[in-house]
Amino acid sequence: MPVYRDKARNRWRYEFDRVVDGRRLRTTKLLPAAWNRAQAEAYAHEQDASLYALATGARREQPLISEAVRLYLTEHAPSLKNRAKLERDLALCLPYYSGRRMDELPVVIREYTAQAGVSAATVKVRMAYLRAACRWAWKTHSMGQHDPAERATLPAVRNERHRYIGRREVLQIAREIVHRDARAVTLVAYYSGMRLSEALRARPHASTWVLDDTKNGERRLVPIHPRTAHLARRWPPAVPARTVQAWFLYACRRLGIDDLRFHDLRHSAASAMINAGVPLYTVGAVLGHKAAASTKRYSHLDIHAG
C-alpha cells in the first residue's frame, strides 16, 4: 500500500517500493501531520506517476525549486521594489522547498499551507512568490517541461475587513494623540485615503498630494481635503511610521476601541467618499487601485448610499 498510518509518528507515510525496468526503486516520506487519508492518497498518486515516468525515461529529471529561486532573486528581483521582502519570505519557507523539484510545486504549496503555522494571508503571499519564481525560471531559462504554476493553486483567503469610522470618531482619536505630527498624519490619512507610508512621503502641490512612487509603481495625485489644507503647509512631518502607529493604538485603547487598525482609516476614507456621492471609479483612482476588483469591496457602500 503506497500510504499507511505511521503509528509511531501518528502521521501518514508514503512509500514507493517497486521494480521498474529491472531496477528496484525505494523511497519513503512522512507526510504533514494535518493531512487526512484523501490528501495522502492524492499525494501518493502524483508521486507514483512521477517516479514511474522517471524510471522508464518518459520524463527527464526536473530542476530544483531552489535553483529557480536563486535565478529569480539574482536576475529578476533586483529590479523589483519589494526585493527585500521577497528574499526574506522565500528564505522563511526554504525548508519546505529545499531539495524539491519544480514539478512538486503543487505539493510544496499544500504542505506549507497545512503546517506553516502562519496566517492564511501570509501563506498565500509567500507561495505566490514561490510560484512566481518557478514560472519566471520556466519562461526565461526553459527550466522544466511545462509551466510549474499550471496546477499550483494558492489557498483561498477571506480577509476582507469592513471596519469603517466616521469623522466624529476620527476627531476623538486625534484629540487623544498628544504628539502633534502623529495627530496630523492620522487626520491626513483619514481625509485622503492614503496609506501610512504614502502619507509620510506625500508632497503637497497646490491643492493635491503628489505621490511620485506608489505601491503599483505609478505616480498618483490625491486631492487635499479642505480640513487638512493647513497641515499641508508644513509637510512632510518629521515622525517615523512606528511612532504614528504607537500613538494611534494608544488613542484607540484610551477610547476603548480594540478592533481598529491604522489602515482602516483608508477604508473609512473610501466610505466617506461614497457616502458623499463619489462614483466607485473615482474612489478607485483616489486610492490608487490598479484593478477595478480592488474597489469592488466598497460596492455594498455604494448600494446603501444610493
At 66-122, the pLDDT tens digits run: 999 999 998 998 888 788 888 999 999 898 988 888 888 998 998 888 876 777 888
Count CB neighbours of 285 within 10 A: 15
Residue 237 CA: distances (Å) to CA of 178, 179, 240, 298: 15, 11, 9, 30
What's the rounded Cα separation, in Å, for the pair 86 and 201? 23
Q: Do residues 193 and 284 share a domain?
A: yes
**Structural domains of the chain, count:** 3
Quote the domain boundaries for residue 91.
Answer: 65-141
Query: For 174, phi and psi rounded to 5 degrees?
Result: -60, -40
Instruction: Indicate whether 264 belongs to any domain.
Output: yes
Note the pLDDT tens digit of each residue in 16-53.
777 766 677 778 888 887 788 888 888 787 777 776 66
Q: Please provide the average confidence, as pLDDT, over all residues in the chain.
A: 82
Considering the domain architecture, whether residues 283 and 195 belong to the same structural domain is answered as yes
What DSSP assignment string belongs to 26-82? EEEEEPPTT--HHHHHHHHHHHHHHHHHHHHTSSPPPPBHHHHHHHIIIIIGGGSTT
Eight-state DSSP code of residue 236: S
Higher pLDDT, 135 or 298: 135
Instruction: Tell which of 91, 126, 141 closes a domain.
Output: 141
Q: How sure is the predictor about 306, in pLDDT bands with cuts at 50, 70 and 90?
A: very low
Taken in order 60, 62, 63, 64, is the CA torsion positive or negative? negative
Instruction: Specify if 40 maps to a domain.
Output: yes
Helix axes 180-192, 167-176, angle to 10 degrees: 170
- Angle 131-136-142 (CA atoms, 0-180°, nearest 5)? 120
Do residue 216 and residue 126 come from a single domain? no
Tell me, what's the pLDDT at 298?
53
Shared domain check, 267 and 211: yes
pTM for the structure as a whole: 0.52
Tell me the per-residue pLDDT of 272-286, one tens digit each, with 9 for 90 and over: 887 777 777 777 777
CATH number for 206 = 1.10.443.10
Give the Å distances, CA to CA, from 72 to 8, 68, 133, 149, 277: 40, 6, 5, 15, 45
